[in-house]
Structure 1
Amino acid sequence: MLNFDAERFLRIESGALALARPLQQLVGELLDGGARNLFFLGAGGAGRLMEPAAQLIARNGDFPVHLENAAELVAMGSANLGPQSIVVIPSLSGTTREAVAVLEYAQERGAKVIALTAHADSPVAQQADVAFTAFAEDDTSSESFYLQSLVIALALLNRLGRFDGFEAALAELEQLPRLLLGVKEAFEPTAAAIAESIRDDDYHIVTGAGPSWTEAWYYGTCILEEMQWIRTRPIHASDFFHGTLELVEPGVSVLLFKGEDASRPLAERVERWVPSVTDRLTVIDTADFDLPGISPEIRALIPHVLIATVLERVSAHLEVLRDHPLTTRRYYRRIDY
């Protein structure tokens, strides 16, 4: 595979899942200690990656969960954040200024802060009440954060009596790193073809529903925009027909991500309509991926993980075809105002 280290990938994603038992234990201890709500408070893309876990908790239990923009919460506050709050802050570098600020804000209000970082010596990890470190880098962090937050969600629901299959689910998830590697290998020719197809586009509409929507937003914003300087319009599939459809013209590229969860019909509606206007529809469907040993129930929980792992292969080809390394930035040194 192009620009890819298989053993490194396996180490990183296995490292994320190695935190499952400690995360489960901590969730139990905090609930036993009287925790009454949970806040996911990340900055930028890392914060957005928490969305599927937050929605899983909200839709399957009655434990209050809040997915907030870290900077906005510090600016505007929340009456729900206090001594009986669990706060989860994901930060790959552990140095993001908004992550540090919201950590300090949460601790000032007595909340228990859990950090998920890739670097144990970072400010976020050092200042958190409890820090979990699983090394990752940009090309592997999505799957890592998705899996860590999924474990938190399932552990919490299990402890509250809203999910009885935690042990079975964990046994399946522990198979994922090697299965994801197999998915990448099988997808490599498709990834190369997609990259070739979109290499010259300067604009994409990116859409999906359910957990796949989170990855649609993330890929459009944090990869195509931030790392390739390509304009995108991420839009939830259920909102596609409430405005964005008017932007579709012949030749406009639409990227559609489909999972195997209950939101699938929302994506299928977009899939049926778009070809009536443009022939530039690219569909990534997790149902096409071979995952031996993974049950339909778990497949429905991980479309964002699967789509992230194959999009990494698209990006690896895209940066070469466009002669634009994913690490190239314009303005990062100019945003500390």
Structure 2
Amino acid sequence: MDPKQIIEKIREKQSNIKSVIFVGCGASKADLYPAKYFLDENAKNLRTNHFTANEFNYATPAAVDDTAIVITASLGGNTPETVQATAKAKELGAHVISLTRSVGSPIANNANYVIYHRFAESYSAKLEKMGYALELAVEILNQYEGYEYYKDMKTGFSKIFDLADKAAKSAIVDAKKFAQEYKDAPIIYVMSSGATHEVAYSTSICLMMEMQWINSGTFHSGEFFHGPFEIVDRDVPFILLMNDGRTRKIDSRALTFLQRFKAKTTVVDALDYGLSSVVPKTVVDYFNPMLITAVFRVYAEELSYARQHALTKRRYMWKLEY
């Protein structure tokens, strides 16, 4: 069942949806953020929330009932906190949609509706979870309130995956340069804005801290001048994930400051990879995170090769009870 059909089924049962709540952990939580951002920007009546799963479990919002759609995500389908959140939302009467790659997994068994996505097959496959979440958000808005740029979003979805694969392949040379320059960095800061804000977050906590054991911090580009810019100095390492669209000026302002004080700065810019040449400008903001995710995965892979530290290497995760 595709996103449009799922929301049609929910609408047949409940014509009065008040809340859309996104729940996940780590990278899966971040993958849900563009969908939440889209609804925040465009919905006039729907209330949206975005939770790490155990926050949802221990401090469950009162809005979780039959007027709520809860969208949960777990790559392997067995993240304990998210499995519990999925079951809890269903018990409270919400219409629960889960995104996972694993057929028959615990999260799939606890949901009302399941969308299975790919991951390892290609760089674009790694975007499917984020893409399906965004498609669900678009369908919710269009079916419950109407959305002026629905066709433009459909055009974007038809183009973004091919563009992402091409962009990832074209990024190898720059990624190798990045890896050599950053392989010995003791700490790396990551920032972005708009729909890409939590791509910066997952880059920091997952790709850097979890997968490379590199100290890292992340913040919104708009918050850069409200504290974080005080640590800028020559050769301090930064990654700026730069958006094509309405928040570009926020990223540009941060970049100007980094360059002014000669910080070690790597920019991954959606504009450089032709996003607005294939996606309508009316909706380009919402596709930045997908393109940038694909490109930066290449950067992370090259960094792992340069450091001789596989992205799959762990000290604690999957090895201890915690």
Per the normalisation by structure 1, the TM-score is 0.88
Counterpart code for 2:105: S
| Partner of residue 142, structure 2 | 158
* Between 160-169 and 128-137, the greater mean CA deviation after superposition: 160-169
Residues 1:310 and 2:295 aligned together: yes
Deviation of residue 163 (structure 1)?
1.5
Letter in 2 for 1:125: A
Equivalent positions of 1:31-180 (< 5 A) are 31-34=11-14, 35-61=17-43, 62-137=45-120, 140=123, 142-180=126-164
Q: How many residues align?
A: 317
Aligned to 1:323: 308
Question: Structure 1 stretch 311-320 or stretch 34-43: which is displaced more?
Answer: 34-43
The alpha carbon displacement at 1:335 in A equals 4.9
1:225 — aligned with what?
A: 209
**Displacement after TM superposition at 1:270 (Å):** 0.6
Partners of 1:275 and 1:293 lie apart in 2 by: 30
**Deviation, structure 1 residue 139:** 7.7
Runs of 4+ in 1 over 6 A off after TM superposition: none
Aligned-pair identity (%): 24
- Is 2:160–2:291's contact at 8 Å kept on the other side of the alignment? no
Distance 1:138 1:280, change over 3 A: farther
Matches for 1:194-213 after TM superposition, within 5 Å? 194-213=178-197
Q: Following superposition of structure 1 onto structure 2, how do residues 270-289 of structure 1 map, counting pairs within 5 Å?
A: 270-289=254-273
* Unaligned runs of at least 5 residues, structure 1: 1-18
SS in 1 for 2:217: strand
Tell me by how many angstroms 1:55 deviates: 1.6
TM-score, scaled relative to structure 2 = 0.92
Report the Cα distance in structure 2 between the residues aligned to 1:76 and 1:294, rounded to whole angstroms.
39
Query: Does the Cα contact within 8 Å between 1:120 and 1:126 map onto a contact in 2?
Result: no
Q: Which moved more, 1:295-304 or 1:96-105?
A: 295-304
Any gaps of 5 or more consecutive residues in structure 2?
none
**1:138 Cα shift?**
10
C-alpha distance in 2 between matches for 1:178 and 1:333: 33
The structure-2 alpha-carbon separation of the partners of 1:199 and 1:139, relative to structure 1 and needing over 3 Å to count, comes to farther
Higher mean displacement: 287-296 or 201-210? 287-296
Counterpart CA distance in 2 for 1:176 and 1:242 is 34
TM-superposed CA distance for 1:195, in Å, is 1.5
Deviation at 1:334, TM superposition (A): 5.1
1:85 to 1:149, Cα distance in 2 relative to 1, 3 A? same
Q: Contact 1:37–1:65 (CA<8 Å) still a contact in 2?
A: yes
How many Å separate the matches in 2 of 1:324 and 1:148?
31
Q: In the superposition, relative to structure 1, how do residues 216 and 72 fare at CA in structure 2: closer, same or farther (>3 Å)?
A: same
Q: Give 2:234's aligned amino acid.
A: P
Query: What is the root-mean-square deviation in Å for CA atoms of aligned residues?
Result: 1.9
Matches within 5 A, 1:13-32: 22-32=2-12
Q: Deviations over 1:147-188 (max 9, x none)?
A: 111111111222134413324432442232222221122222
Tell whether the 8 Å contact from 2:156 to 2:278 is kept in structure 1 after alignment.
Answer: yes
Taking a change above 3 Å as real, the CA distance of residues 139 and 182 of structure 1, as seen in their structure-2 partners, is closer
In the alignment, the residues of structure 2 paired with residue 269 and residue 293 of structure 1 have an alpha-carbon distance, to the nearest angstrom, of 26
State the Cα deviation string for residues 312-335 of structure 1 (Å, max 9, x = none): 111121111100000000001455
Q: CA deviation at 1:279?
A: 3.5
